[in-house]
Amino acid sequence: MLVLLDTNAYLRLAKRIRPAVGISFGQKGYVLTVHKSVEDEVHRNPRLKAKYPWFDSEEFIAERLAKQIRLSEDDKQGIAIVQSVLHGSVLSDVHRYTSGGRSPPGQTDCWLLALGQVKSAIVVTDDLGMHELAKDFGIAVWHGYELLDKLRSAKVVNGTLIKEIYQALEVNGDLTKSWQEVKHTLFAKIFGAKAE
């Protein structure tokens, strides 16, 4: 089963989990993959390019090119239709997707969710608006920390690496509230249980 990383999920995990894409893990045979849209988004955003200079190193480019998901013309047509429906749903009730500090899913977010639906993939994103939209349409999504937990269960990562990932997210100012909330519950064996 394909597990499709969105841009932020890839950027949070790819440098420390090697290789980051193309690996198969777990009893269900999950396979981590990316689409060229991840590359395009980073290249369009000077802030991301500056924050993640390793992104364009030869090793990471080669890995992404070798393991990118390829789309047929039928896939592209199906994705365009689903994207239109998803984005229309967002536009019809923007407030619903912005409550609680969320940002509404944009065209690219809707495209990625549409890709997940068309290819029966799980989309990994920490964007809460995308989670809400995915729930509305029955599209499978995981938070980045859920992927990390599944990688731990499959013995792809260990507690030391999870600690390193959390430390890097903290240093980069990229530790989301959802990741903070599970640090002492989902990863209690690594960080200890939360003190009451």
User: pLDDT tens digits, the chain, 196 residues: what are they?
Assistant: 999 999 999 999 999 998 889 888 999 999 999 988 888 999 999 999 898 999 999 999 999 888 888 899 999 999 999 999 999 999 999 888 887 767 899 988 999 999 999 999 999 999 999 999 999 999 999 999 999 999 999 999 999 999 999 999 999 888 899 999 999 999 999 999 876 5
Domain limits of the chain? 2-145
pLDDT of residue 195: 61
Provide the token pair at 13: 């995990």
3-state secondary structure the chain: CEEEECHHHHHHHCCCCCCCCCCEECCCCEEEECCHHHHHHHHHCHHHHHHCHHHHCHHHHHHHHHHCCCCCHHHHHHHHHHHHHHHHHHHHCHHHHHHHHCCCCCHHHHHHHHHHHHCCCEEECCCHHHHHHHHHHCCCEECHHHHHHHHHHCCCCCHHHHHHHHHHHHHCCCCCHHHHHHCCCCCHHHHCCCCC
Tens of pLDDT, residues 127-156: 999 999 999 999 999 999 999 999 999 999
For the chain, the farthest-separated pair of C-alpha atoms sits apart, in whole angstroms, at: 55
CATH class of 2-145: alpha beta
Q: What is the pTM of this model?
A: 0.93
